[in-house]
Each structure stands twice: as structure tokens, then as C-alpha cells.
Chains A and B, each alone.
Chain A
């Protein structure tokens, strides 16, 4: 016991010393910090406090190029405030990583959460701090109500939706479309007809990455959102209606029009079950004739096209919005990384304020592989037409977009390989005739995971 107390004392001493040194550094550096707060372009749209000598930590799931781009954003923040920010990648199980950090008393200052469910859970436990007036001002100025709400819990604003994903896109091989003489479909019925024509031309029309469960949940969510509307979508997301509901039956029946026809799927439904997501993208843009003409998934498909195939986005590979199903609007489902403060400090708030400005979004947007829900960000900063189009669809959706349903669900239902919704929809893909059986399995798993029968 005694030794540990001594250790604590020693730690405290070190901390004090560091603080004094930090303050000294701050004093000496304050002379130049006045112009340090200005970016070279002089286009700063927000006043940030002077944070010389402060050290901030930001945690997010990103690695590789995404981490590098985020570090560019942080570098700008460092330049404007004088603070030092370290980026900590959390690995795949972000909530576990953050949970252990918090319980160990060493939380990062700011974290980017990919799931609103985790945000709710953290807010409930008091692990995250509400945003200050400065952040709120930026949010009100730059974000629509719907996007702000993603970062709120019980009416209190906690987070800034920094990075968005548009998950309602169908990527297509332009050569395959040309050979079949078809154009981009606007409705589900058109989509099926287009697919049939492409199949007649000898190219498998649709590539589905069924070996991974999550693309299937996204397929379902888009059909459901468009066909049944946002209200039902919200109810199902919160499990206020059961998966045995007639609306789910309708959506699955619609989906079976595609999944149930082997001519329309690359490799038939059996082949689709063996295709993992990266392969589903790669086969669509490889070979002549290609392995498939269309592949559905979010904006991140672009990254897979560039790294795994020789196709060029904008010429060989293009994108169209998910078609409207059954008279509904075209669906827009999204994902978002929401920045939250885990410490109630000036530095954390300043970083959130900065992330809420178009200045921060612009830095990454110019690099590509990034969409911002910030409506005041000029669309011209995106590097190419395809990305610009995707971003425009996202902003144009206004507040009609919905967050990915499986990401809102408990992980046991919506986020685990071989379990819950992933597994049940894989079984549905294996046997698309059995809508009732799929509904029953989904409801049984949902009841278990949500714990509200």
C-alpha cells in the first residue's frame, strides 16, 4: 500500500513539474501565438483559444490513409491554437477500447464514435461531456437539425458529426452498361428491368458480398426506408415494431425479387454467399466481360476500386443513387463519425469547435475519401465529380436521411459476424423464398439482443 502511495506522490510531482514547464513554455511562446492563430490562407472562420503547451489526445478507429488525413486536420488545429494533439487509433472494437481507457482513468480528450448507440450509452454513464456554447454556435450555423440530432442524447448536444458516409449508392461498370445499352435506373422496377437486360447481354448484373453479413443489412435497410418510410424505419430501428411486422415482410419480398433470381446475381445466390465484400467490388470492375455490372454499397467502395482494380472512378466506374422502391422516395442511409469530448476541458471544447467548422472539413475533403455533412462546406472542394455527386445527394436529402439501422442496434444483433441480423439475412439469401422464416429468425434474435421481447 505504501509503495503505491509513494508512486502516486511521485506522479503528482511530475505532473506539477510538467504543468509549470508547460506554463513557462506558454509564456515564452505567447508572443508569436497571435499570428499563429491565423491560417496561412487567412480563411479562418472561427476564433479558437490559445492553447500553447496543452496536450490533447484524439481517438478514432482510423488507420492508414484515413489516419494520415485526420492528422492533417489536427495539424491545422495545432497551428491555430498551439496545442499538441496526438492521434490514437482504437482498433476495431472501439467502445471496448474507450471503455477500458475511461475506467482506467486515462480517457482521451476527444473521441470519434461511429455508432449513435455507443454515444447514447456513454452519455447515460456520464462518460461524455455536453458541448459548450462555442461548439453549439458552429453546429447551428453549419449543420441541419437531423445531423445535429445524431450527436444528441435526451435533448442535450454531445457530439459533432464530423465525417459522414453515404450508404445509398450503386456503383456500376460503365462498359457493361454501354454493352447492354442501358441507362441508370431511377426506380426499383427499372432497376430490376435494367438488371434483366444486362443479364441478357451476358454479364451478371448485380454483385452481392453475401459472405459478409453487413452488406446484406444495408441492402435491406435501403429497401425498407424507401418502401416503408422514415417513421417505420425509426420504429424498427428501436425495435418498437417487431420484425414479424407486415412492413418487414413487404421489404423482404421486394428484396427477394433480386435475391431470388439467380440470373440477376453474380454467381447466383449461392455464389453471392461465397463472395466477401472486397471481392464483390473487385469482380465488378475486373475483366472483360466483368464479373458483374453493379455493386451496391457506400461511398467507401471508391477506396476498394482504386486499391483492388485498375478501373478509374468517373470513367470506368460510376455511381447512381439507390433507386426509389414502391413509390417512396429514393432512400439515403448514412453512417457518421461523431466527435465527442470525454474530458470537460477548454482544449477538448476548442477541438470540437474546430471540427464543427467547414475549415476542418475542407482539409480532409480536398484529400478525398471524405464526406462532410456540413452544409456550409463548398462542394467545389471535393476532388472529383463522383465524390461531389455523392456529397450533393447527402446534403440534398436534408433531414430525410436515416442512420444505418444495424449500427443503431445492439452489437449482438446488428454487428456480429455469424450472429443476429447478419446471419439471418445470410440465411435469407441462401433461401430467399422463405420470407416468413427469415422474419421469425430476425425477431427471435432481435428480442434477445434488445432485451424487450
Chain B
């Protein structure tokens, strides 16, 4: 018996030494380290834990981790389930599976960089905003002179909805001068002509809308100087008591003529002349940054979930499905009452694996979140790294966070081990 014990011990020794050195010792040391201050020499008891729980940054991280653990694995598993069930029915299922699984071959770092570009604000650079801006522009085309605004000191003042309205009322015979600035010369249509003062006379209200900026400078504000171009195609409305009574468009030299009914009304340049192009969604802004990063994660891991679930699906006895069909069950009923319950063990495995995976999420957040919103996207693993090495250099508090992270992973681990044991017993 004794020799058997020693032989067993001898065989176990390499594993024990490795486990001890690589797992048990680091955990033990982290716990010890978390009780010391930043320099590692002064014992501070549990004060580091106090710091962890009083720091709003860490609290955001805990909150975000909770969001991650709930949202990311469930969406990923649900998508994986849908893909797995659908690809079973499709002829090109394998090819489809291959494509969905492909992101798994990319490292988290590369995926992070890819999605940093996808979420770029500028629609000319970020694919997500390019798509949204493209759809948006179909329904509301951009204006003729985006970004234009009245010359400061001119008679125009900002009014509702980004339009500009004159302070004085229009009179027949007195031409209205409506100077605009803020348009690059190069953005004018090539047909733009020298701005002209409108001819007076007649009973109508006339005026000029022009670019009151002479290239190279030297123009007088509010005066039509030689070299200043008229703005073609600007809508000018005459507004009286909040109602549009007349409307006209400017000609190539910037002049417009409104009918006599416009006299006594205020002139308005509606916002449709100036509306800037749609800027897209602020994906990496404070509110959307975490959901955006979760999106990147789902893109990566849906393939993983799909492959595991598809493997489980292959093990579902066909006879059961056939029997249900014969009994007159619909596809949805089969899916809900037969496929999903039979797949439950696999789904739990996928869900739990992803949960553990998500709790330690680090790289995607570190790479995708820009500096300005990094704190909004903060997760525990990132906080742990930043506190210990990234400028804070307080490995005491860092160790405390790592212990907290360990405590959060433990219940999931215990659950997983129990489940595996139960399964083995069966």
C-alpha cells in the first residue's frame, strides 16, 4: 500500500509541480499582493478592496461586465442556434458554415482593429456609417450648399430648424442683399457667375443671394464685390405670420424675384439649402460604445457557437423529428418543443463557455474603445491591466481587482465542473 502511494505520488509530481507553479502559486501570490500597497512593501489590509469598490471607474467596469455576461453569450448562442438549424436545411450549408466560422481564425487583436475601422465616424472611412448614411441620403438628399451661413452682421438671423430669416421686411423696389459665407469656392458649380445686383423696378420683390467672400480676401462685407460669385439654386421664401406666401429660386448670378405679394413679408432661407450631409451614428460615443464592441464579439464568436450546436444537432435522432412531422406538428413547434430541449445540454455548454470567455474580455475593448470613451467601455480585465501596468502602476489595487475577477469566474467554473461530473455519471 505504501509503495503504491509513493508510486502514485511520483507519477503525480510533475503535474502537481506544474499546476502549483503556474496556477496555485500565482493565485496565492495575487491574494497576498492585494493586501499590500503600490510599492509592495507596506501592509494595508483590505484597503485596496475599499479602493476598488469606491472608485467609480471600477464600478462602471463591474456594471459593464454584467452587461457583457448577460448580453454577449445569449446573443451569440441564439445566433449560433439559428445558423446551425438553418444551415442544416440549406444545400450550401457547409460553405455557409465555413464563412460564419471564418472570424474565429482571426485573432482578437486583428478583429479589434477591423471593427475600429468599421465603426469609424466618417462615412467615407467607416463601413457601418457608410451604409447608414447611404440609406439616409436616399430618403433625404443632401443640400446644395452644406455648411453655408450668413455673413456675420448681415440682416439674416438664425430661425427655427436651421433656417435663416431677415430681421427687416422686404419691400418692392428695394433689392434684398443676402450674403452667405462658409462655402469653399471649389464647391460652387462650374456654372456659377459673378453675382449681380438685382434690377429694381417692377412690382416684385428682388434680391441677391451670393457668396460674400472674394477669393484671396479683400472683399467688403455685405457688398457685392467683383469676383464674388452668385449662388445658384437657393430657395428663398417670403414668410408672413408664419406662413409661406411666396417662394423663388435664385438664378446663376444669385438674383431672385418674388411676386408683389411678398412685399411686407420677411425673407427666409430654409434649412434645406444648408443641411450638412448626414454624419452617421456615433458608434464609439459614450452610450453606444459597449453595444458596439459586443457586436464585434458576436461577429467573432457566433461561428464557434454555430459549430458546437451543429455538432449537437447531428446527434438529435431523426426519428423524433419525423414522428413529430407525421403527427402534424409545424416547423416552429418542432423547433421549440423538440430540437431546443434535446439541444439543451449543448446550449448550456456553449453558454457557459462563452460566459467564462466574456468575463475576461480585454483585447476587443482595449483596441476598439477610443481614449475619450475608454472609461465608458471599461471592463474588469482592462481595469486590472491599466491599474497595474498602464500608468497607474498600483499592483496592489490591480491584484485586488484580479481577485475580484477570480471570485466572479468561480461560480461559473463550479457550475461547469458539476455539470461535467453529472454528465459522466450518466
Contacts and interface: CB of A to CB of B under 8 A. Distances in A.
B242 interface: no
A201 B213 contact: yes
Find the residue from A179, A270, A288 having the highest chain B CB count within 10 A: A179
B393 A418 contact: no
B184 A201 contact: yes
Interface string B32-73: 000000000000000000000000000000000000000000
B371 A199 contact: no
Contact of A178 (B184, B216, B374): B216
Find the residue from B121, B147, B284, B389 having the highest chain A CB count within 10 A: B121
Given A199-B182, A274-B122, A423 B393 contact: no
Contact of B182 (A202, A274, A288, A415): A202
B371 A417 contact: yes
Contact of A420 (B149, B183, B391): B391
- The DSSP consensus for interface residues of chain B is loop
B215 interface: yes
Contact of A271 (B121, B147, B370): B121
A347 B255 CA distance: 80
A199 B182 CA distance: 6
Given A211-B371, A418-B372, A200 B391 contact: no
B140 interface: no
A49 interface: no
Nearest to A451: B38
A200 B121 contact: no
Contact of A430 (B120, B183, B186, B372): B372
B315 interface: no
Interface in B385-402: 386, 389-393
Interface in A421-447: 422-423, 426-427, 430
Contacts of A180: 216-217
Interface in B161-216: 181-187, 213-216
Given A202-B183, A271-B121, A288-B186, A213 B215 contact: no
Contact of A423 (B149, B186, B372): B372
A31 B374 CA distance: 62
Contacts of A419: 375, 386, 391-392
Contacts of A213: 371-372
A178 B370 CA distance: 35
A14 interface: no
A254 interface: no
Find the residue from B186, B218, B282, B391 having the highest chain A CB count within 10 A: B391
A415 B149 CA distance: 40
Contact of A181 (B216, B372, B390, B391): B216
B234 to A, nearest CB: 15
B184 A203 contact: yes
A148 B217 CA distance: 47
Contacts of A181: 214-218
A430 B217 CA distance: 32
Interface in A397-415: 411-412, 415
B392 A179 contact: no
Nearest to A430: B372
B15 to A, nearest CB: 24
Contact of B393 (A182, A202, A263, A411): A411
B421 to A, nearest CB: 43
A53 interface: no
Nearest to A96: B389
A367 B375 CA distance: 42
Contacts of A270: 282
B360 interface: no
A31 B393 CA distance: 53
Contact of A179 (B181, B185, B370, B372): B185
Interface residues of A, number: 37
Contacts of A96: 389
Contact of A212 (B284, B369, B371, B393): B371
A412 B217 contact: no
Contacts of B213: 200-202
Nearest to B370: A211
Contact of B391 (A202, A203, A263, A416): A416
B240 interface: no
Contacts of B121: 271, 274
Nearest to A276: B370
Contacts of A107: none
Nearest to B148: A202
Given A179-B216, A182-B217, A271-B121, A202 B372 contact: no
Nearest to A412: B391
Contacts of B181: 199-202
A418 B184 contact: no
Nearest to B145: A202
Contacts of A427: 372
B372 A200 contact: no
A269 B315 CA distance: 57
Interface string A259-276: 000010000001101101
A346 B216 CA distance: 62
A423 B375 CA distance: 9
Contacts of A161: none
Nearest to A179: B215
Nearest to B57: A419
A289 B186 contact: yes
A416 B122 contact: no
A420 B149 CA distance: 38
A271 B279 CA distance: 9
B217 A202 contact: no
B151 interface: yes
Contacts of B375: 418-419, 423
Nearest to B182: A202
Contacts of A201: 181, 184-185, 213, 215, 217
Interface string B97-130: 0000000000000000000000011100000000
Minimum-distance CB pairs A-B, first 5: A181-B217, A416-B391, A418-B374, A202-B184, A289-B184
Given A274-B120, A426-B371, A426-B372, 16 more contacts: A178-B216, A179-B185, A181-B218, A199-B181, A200-B213, A201-B181, A201-B184, A202-B181, A211-B370, A211-B371, A276-B370, A418-B369, A418-B375, A418-B386, A423-B371, A430-B372
11 contacts: A181-B214, A197-B217, A200-B151, A200-B181, A201-B215, A202-B185, A202-B187, A211-B371, A411-B391, A419-B375, A419-B391
Interface of A: 96, 178-182, 197, 199-203, 210-213, 263, 270-271, 273-274, 276, 288-289, 411-412, 415-420, 422-423, 426-427, 430
